Amino acid sequence: MTKLHKSEWIIVIGLLVLSFVPCIGGIFRMIELQMDTALEFIPKNPRALSSPIPIEIHIMSSVLYCILGAFQFLPNIRGNYTKWHQLSGRLLVCAGILAALSGLWMTHFYSFPEGFPEKNKSVSSIVQIGRQRCLRKLTTSP
C-alpha cells in the first residue's frame, strides 16, 4: 500500500472538493431522471426531463472525469501503479471528450429561457456563466 505525501493529499482533496458540487448535483439529476419524477430539493431542469440522453451522458462522463482526474496528478500513484495510471488516463481522455461534446451539443440544441443563466442559480448555471463569458470574450476581442 503506497503512502501519499502531504502535498498529494492536498492536491487530491482539493480537486475532489472542487468537483463535489457539480458531481452531487449531477447524481441527484440522474436519480431524478431514472425515477422520472421531479425531485423537490434540486432546481427544475425541463430540458433534462424532455431530452435526458445528452445530459445523462454529460453527467456520467463529467463525474468520471472529475473523480479519476483528481488521482492522475499524484506522483506516488503514477510511479507505483503505472498500469492503473495509464488505464485511468485513457478512460479520462474518452470521458473528457464525451463530457465536452455532450456539453456543446446541449449548448447548441437545448432551448434555454430568455435571460438564462443569470436569473437561474442552478449548478448548470455556473457552467453556463463561464461559457457565456468565454464566448463573449472570444466574440468581442479583435
Q: Which residues bind ligand HEM (CB under 6 A)?
A: 22, 25-26, 29, 45, 47-48, 55, 58-59, 62, 65-66, 99-100, 103-104, 106-107, 110, 122-124, 127, 131
Cell, residue 61: 462522463
Least CB distance to ligand HEM at residue 140 (A): 19
Q: Residue 71 Cβ, how far from ligand HEM at the closest point, in Å? A: 15
Residue nearest to ligand HEM (CB): 103
Q: Could you tell me which of 16, 11, 19, 41 has the C-alpha nearest to residue 29?
A: 41
Which among 103, 130, 118, 94 has a CA at the least distance from the CA of 47? 103
Q: C-beta of 20: minimal distance to ligand HEM in Å?
A: 10
**Residue 129 to residues 105, 118, 119: CA-CA distances in angstroms?**
17, 7, 11
**Closest distance between ligand HEM and the C-beta of residue 97, in Å?**
11
Task: Between 111 and 140, name the residue whose CB sits nearer to ligand HEM.
Answer: 111
